[in-house]
């Protein structure tokens, strides 16, 4: 199957695009876009891939479902467009960065500047019906995004994987801990951030690791 995606990702993922599950997934997603309000806009489904080529990835952040409210999700996990109110989880991420690195909390929740530096922030499910969290789970996206994680683990070295919350932590089995740094913590959601996300210092730990490997740090 010919998928419109950044060329380096296309080369690494073509074998997934050719599998029957992916054809079924595409058929499901196309049907959903025709009969429901689905997020993000179709051309932004692979936005994080198109903005951060395979060889440019330094840090991988794994989320679960896209924000289900129209106007929030545009293809980058945890990020919202300029001018949109910052969601609770992202506010807590910014609070932890402030505590960890002393950086002021941004006025915008747009994380494009992270992605451009190599922070690959990906949900495991890449589409959702508006106002229906989890409505596109178990349709094939998880098989695809698990393959993305494994491909990064197998074919890259010295990446930092940030796994927040029980769902993301389940992805640990896909990652080679001998080649990469795996950081785990509670989810930054307002419901759980006090249970181990605050104080995790993942952002300084990531930069210390990258620096030790001769890789440019992330300006969080």
- Residues annotated as catalytic (active site), given as ranges: 65
CA distance 91 to 75: 19
**Assigned token pair, 158:** 């010295």
Are the CB atoms for 85 and 187 separated by under 8 Å?
A: no
In order of 31, 56, 95, 205, the CA distances from 199 in angstroms are 44, 28, 10, 12
Give the three-class secondary structure for 11: helix
Radius of gyration of the chain (CA): 17
């Amino acid at each position: 199957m010919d998928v419109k995606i950044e060329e380096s990702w296309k080369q690494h993922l073509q074998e997934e695009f050719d599998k029957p599950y992916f054809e079924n997934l595409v058929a499901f997603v196309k049907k959903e876009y025709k009969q429901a309000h689905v997020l993000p806009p179709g051309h932004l489904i692979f936005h994080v891939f198109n903005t951060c080529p395979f060889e440019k990835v330094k840090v991988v952040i794994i989320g679960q479902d896209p924000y289900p409210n129209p106007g929030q999700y545009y293809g980058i996990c945890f990020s919202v467009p300029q001018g949109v109110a910052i969601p609770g989880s992202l506010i807590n991420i910014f609070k932890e960065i402030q505590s960890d690195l002393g950086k002021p909390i941004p006025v915008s929740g747009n994380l494009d500047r992270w992605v451009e530096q190599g922070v690959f922030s990906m949900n495991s499910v890449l589409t959702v019906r508006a106002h229906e969290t989890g409505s596109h789970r178990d349709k094939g996206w998880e098989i695809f995004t698990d393959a993305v994680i494994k491909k990064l683990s197998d074919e890259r070295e010295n990446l930092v994987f940030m796994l927040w919350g029980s769902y993301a932590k389940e992805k640990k089995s896909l990652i080679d801990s001998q080649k990469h740094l795996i950081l785990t913590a509670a989810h930054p959601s307002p419901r759980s951030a006090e249970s181990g996300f605050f104080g995790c210092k993942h952002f300084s730990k990531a930069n210390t690791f990258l620096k030790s490997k001769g890789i440019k740090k992330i300006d969080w």
